[in-house]
Chains A and B, each alone.
Chain A
Amino acid sequence: MTLPQVPILPILPELILTLFGIAVMLFDPFTAKPHKSWLSSLAFIGVLAALAGNVLLLAAEGEYYNGMIIVDSFSVFFNFLFLIIAGLSILASRQYLVREGVNHSEYYGLLLFATVGMCFMGGANELIMIFIGLEITSISTYVLAGFRRTDLKSNEAAIKYFLLGSFATAFLLYGIALMYGATHTTHLSQISSALLTGRIDLRLVLAGTALMMVGFSFKVATAPFQIWTPDVYEGAPIPVTGWMSVGPKAAGFAAFLRVFFVALPALDQKWFWVLWVSSVLTMTIGNTAAMLQSNIKRMLAYSSIAHAGYILVAFAALTPNGIASIMFYLLAYSVMNLGAFAVISAWSLSGERRVTIDEFAGLGYRQPWLAAAFTVFLLGLTGIPLTAGFTGKFFMFRAAINSKLYWLTIIALLNSAASLYYYLRPTIAMYMREPGESGRTSAPQDSAPLQISMATKVVIAVSVLAVFYLGLFPSTILDFAQSSAFLVH
């Protein structure tokens, strides 16, 4: 018999990431403590290699492995996004891990493995594959959330995320099972054609859809399944929080979009209203709660809920333009949020102290460039023009208006305006208050000059540039996203 031809190109980025992940884990015990940082460089090289591999994927569009994996510009776009997120996160974590005394290379290994899972979620063309990708991502994330083992809050975050996450995965799995029961297939396009035949049990399909929606809603943290977010985001180590708020969320949306637009377009009038209501709830709850926070991580956690709500607005538009704008926005949101968390990580002190908004007082004059970058990220997150956040939101709301979702867009825009209130609070602290004016007296060692590592600076600089690039010249990325979105739709 001849050897079966197994193409490796379609999963090349995933393979590269896995190999590098294993290598990082394996080299760790052989590396003396002072030299551990080269392993993070290794992980970063792995991400770069996977990016190169991803470029090759552009020429290999099609379905592979009996249709389990699909390579199209949608999946390639998301691979790029996940790899960029992973690369920035690796760089942003280096200094933090050393400072917190948890510089274990497993961190980087897990980050790479989680990225593998995310890439599978973006490229999966079949429900089981999505589930596997989700599990790979989630399990790595559970560990990462608890990476500061000796810290109770970090432990709480990990356990909470693990318990609730497993629960949500179970919902998703049950939904998949029901869908399979009704349509006898887990392939997305076959589900779609099965639904069109009309010879299926619609009750099962609807129950399956609802359960899958619960599962995805949990993963992307939209109301009413967002309750876990603040505690987990607050407890997890700062770079992990930054990563979680963009990476797994983007992956969740990638799978969410593909499942609902490829497999379930026939039912879109049924799930449209669920999205509509969920969107309003998500934005409003996220923004309202964010206003009341004093801890900056918690504030950004709630605001990330609000951002998922804005994304649902474009989701509810049910058009290729809507999908494209979501893709663009996920990229924009990722660079802004990663940048913001890099600043928080640079400003905070060991043991994750100095993370309340008041404690940013005076940053504007002690570290003008750091503060300026933070201001750019915050304004971007608010959606002030010339930043990525504005173009992203503008495209999403454009898609929504195109689908005549006037009220939803107005609610979203008012939410956006309200978000100014809390996004500006750090700028008030940074520029308009003197240190110590808030009544807190900081210990003398806290006013020592900040040491910001080169890697962190690179992350912040790259993010700032990306925020402005996407804000000023969105065309290239937008056109790419648009061409991909038509494929999915």
Chain B
Amino acid sequence: MLRSYLPILIQIILASLIGFGILGLSYLVGKHKPTPEKLMPYESGVRPTGSAHERFAVKFYLTAMLFILFDVEVIFLYPWAVIYRELRFFGFFEMLTFILVVLAGYVYIWKKGALDWNKN
């Protein structure tokens, strides 16, 4: 039974080999001449001030979470699209229901002002 997972194992090994291999190679082969400018977060940018541990407005998290939520929901459209022809009208209405639920959530967050960046 486990045999069927072998290709996945091989893929994991190959992927890690290639990833770590490239990083390792560049470390081994490349030249290292660090200067303060090179070590700055943005080499040609503005000189950074203050601590990196800054407080973010919670709005960022909210936006990010909402994005992920809807993004994940949209992903369901892909498998549905693939077998759309087979499902016919049943599939159409099923997806319509699904979209309606998603839409309800969308209307909810919209009216709640979650998308309103300048609120408060």
Contacts and interface: CB of A to CB of B under 8 A. Distances in A.
Direct contact of A and B (CB under 8 A): yes
Interface of A: 1, 3-4, 22, 25-26, 28-30
Given A22-B101, A26-B104, A1 B88 contact: yes
A26 B89 CA distance: 28
Contacts of A3: 89-90
Interface stretch (B34-42, B58-66, B106-114): B106-114
Contacts of A28: 108, 112
B89 to A, nearest CB: 8
Contacts of A25: 104, 108
A50 to B, nearest CB: 19
Q: By DSSP majority rule, is chain B's interface helix, strand, loop, or mixed?
A: helix
B86 interface: yes
Given A28-B108, A29-B108, 17 more contacts: A1-B86, A1-B88, A3-B89, A3-B90, A4-B90, A22-B101, A22-B104, A25-B104, A25-B108, A26-B104, A26-B107, A26-B108, A28-B112, A29-B107, A29-B111, A29-B112, A30-B111
Nearest to B100: A22
A4 B91 CA distance: 10
Interface string B91-103: 0000000000100
Contacts of A4: 90
Nearest to A109: B108
Q: By DSSP majority rule, is chain A's interface helix, strand, loop, or mixed?
A: helix
Contacts of B101: 22
B61 to A, nearest CB: 16
Contacts of B88: 1
A33 to B, nearest CB: 13
Contacts of B107: 26, 29
Interface string B50-79: 000000000000000000000000000000
A399 B108 CA distance: 50
Contacts of A1: 86, 88
Contacts of B90: 3-4
B63 to A, nearest CB: 18
Q: Which 9 pairs from chain A and chain B are nearest by CB? A: A29-B111, A3-B90, A29-B112, A26-B104, A22-B104, A25-B108, A26-B108, A26-B107, A29-B108
Contacts of B89: 3
A110 to B, nearest CB: 13
19 contacts: A1-B86, A1-B88, A3-B89, A3-B90, A4-B90, A22-B101, A22-B104, A25-B104, A25-B108, A26-B104, A26-B107, A26-B108, A28-B108, A28-B112, A29-B107, A29-B108, A29-B111, A29-B112, A30-B111
A105 to B, nearest CB: 11
Nearest to A3: B90
B88, B101, B104, B108: residue with the most chain A Cβ atoms closer than 10 Å: B108
Nearest to B86: A1
A142 to B, nearest CB: 16
A96 B87 CA distance: 49
A39 to B, nearest CB: 13
A453 B112 CA distance: 29
Nearest to B103: A26
B51 to A, nearest CB: 26
B41 to A, nearest CB: 34
Contacts of B86: 1
Contacts of A30: 111
Interface string B3-44: 000000000000000000000000000000000000000000
A30 B88 CA distance: 36
Contacts of B108: 25-26, 28-29
Contacts of B111: 29-30
A28 B107 CA distance: 11
A282 to B, nearest CB: 39
Nearest to A29: B111
